[in-house]
Amino acid sequence: MSSRRTVSLITLGCARNEVDSEELAGRLAADGWTLVDGDDGEKADVVLVNTCGFIEAAKQDSIETLLNAADSGAKVVAAGCLAERYGAELAEAMPEAQVLSFDDYTQISKRLDDVLAGRPLTPHTPRDRRTLLPITPVERSAASGPHTPGHLTFGADPEPLPEGVAPASGPTVPRLRLNGGPVANLKIASGCDRRCSFCAIPSFRGAYLSRHPDDVLREAEWLADQGVRELFLVSENSTSYGKDLGDLRALEKLLPRLAEVPGIERVRVSYLQPAEVRPGLVDVLTGTPKVVPYFDLSFQHASGPLLRRMRRFGDRERFLELVETIRARSPEAGIRSNFIVGFPGETEEDLAELTAFLEQARLDAVGIFGYSDEEGTEAAGFDGKLPEETIAERVEQLNQLAEELMAQRAEERVGTTVEVLVEAELDEGAYEGRAAHQAPEVDGSTIVYAETELRVGDIVPATVLTAMGVDLVAEHQEDADTP
């Protein structure tokens, strides 16, 4: 075997997966593997695909990616949610790829060594990972359970890690940034204790487990040393953060600490459950310097009866009250959400409730998804299934409405001043970035024109000139200070 072992890492799915991939990359780099970019034409010994297994479309994308990787002639390994969820079944259906479990992550280098040497891996039998930790949340932090991806712990390491993997001295963390740039995802928790009838994620991601605040803070400090200006806190449910640590206000306490990390200018939180958004959290998100007033709220629908079938709380009136409370505290706050259309039993009245909510709430960003059965979920066995044609029609109807409403909301920002984090230079005098109400990748972007040179990572004030859908065009305010 050559002493130089190369691996290409492909990440599919959500921001949580991106953090997991950087953990895998860090562990591999620390053990002497060289990461190569397949897009640059350099062939890797092993292609490691961090798959997504959330919905059918994501599964198919993962399978196609694995097959394409196998066509390159490299040895292929499947990790991530699809691999965890199906294990031996996936290995049997796809002999082109070896299959790993989350529990293999701590030994990822040895597993890839086996693959490179032609030693077959024994694929795991999937299990409900919720059963691997105590039922009572506060008992979990002391449990010595299975590995949880992305839950990195700082500790003394006598062997220095490669440049970029960790600070040159002091405690280390096995994470290697793959994409660079001034924004980084920071995982604060994993898993979910909710039992939404349509969602299979808790079964393969496991029960809810918070990272200790000190570990989160120290990783934030490391990211700041890497040039990160904005932290994007990710988890399956950020509003539950700390419940297993015995502190329901843990997120409210953590956010100001992260905002004080030198070099960090923005802290943003993703995936908030509306039923768990307490007044104190709204106050912190709208009143703490450097914590952006951004609310990624998981509404899913607005009809009370349908939400009960989804095993969720709330209705149009309660959700509108929350939106109004947020905007009363911070009129410029960004609010986004996703909605499922065509859930079993959804009536025209239910759809009308959702339509009315969208028209009244005027959210900054909206995602509309058609319902599809997910094996292993309660909803897969529900009656009242709608024809695919009906679901497609409703998705199209709501998508058109959402696009109109989002464009109107963006138009309301014309003439206002926004703070833009510069992420790329387009042409001389033109830059692309995001205002505070725009999260990475999902909420549009802002083009800034400036007469003076800006740098990637700058946060600059800019006057919004026009809107193009959810995207903004703005002009840098030359006489204002840049943080």
Strand (E) or helix (H) holding 358: helix 348-361
Alpha-carbon gap, residue 426 to 195, rounded angstroms: 45
Q: Which residues pair with 417 in a beta bridge?
A: 463
Strand (E) or helix (H) holding 210: strand 209-210
- Find out whether 231 is annotated in a ligand binding site: no
State whether residue 56 is helix, strand or coil: helix
For helices 348-361 and 316-329, give the axis angle rounded to 10 degrees: 10
197, 135 contact by CB (below 8 A)? no
Burial 176-193 (b: 16+ CB within 10 A, else e): bbeeebbbbbbbbbbbbb
Alpha-carbon gap, residue 472 to 252, rounded angstroms: 31
Strand (E) or helix (H) holding 61: helix 56-71
State whether residue 81 is helix, strand or coil: helix
Sequence-distant (6+) residues with CB within 8 A of 129 are: 84, 102, 146, 191, 203, 204, 205, 206, 207
- Find out whether 23 is annotated in a ligand binding site: no
Q: For residue 343, which of 199, 148, 149, 454 has the smallest C-alpha distance?
A: 199
Alpha-carbon gap, residue 35 to 31, rounded angstroms: 11
Alpha-carbon gap, residue 54 to 340, rounded angstroms: 14
Sequence-distant (6+) residues with CB within 8 A of 403 are: 469
- Find out whether 33 is annotated in a ligand binding site: no
Strand (E) or helix (H) holding 400: helix 388-411
190, 205 contact by CB (below 8 A)? yes
> Is the dihedral angle over the CA atoms 253, 258, 262, 264 positive or is it negative?
negative
- Find out whether 81 is annotated in a ligand binding site: yes
For helices 15-30 and 108-116, give the axis angle rounded to 10 degrees: 70
- Find out whether 52 is annotated in a ligand binding site: yes
Structure tokens at 249: 């206000």
- Find out whether 428 is annotated in a ligand binding site: no
Q: For residue 405, which of 349, 359, 344 has the smallest C-alpha distance?
A: 359
The binding site for [4Fe-4S] cluster comprises 14, 52, 81, 192, 196, 199
The binding site comprises 14, 52, 81, 192, 196, 199
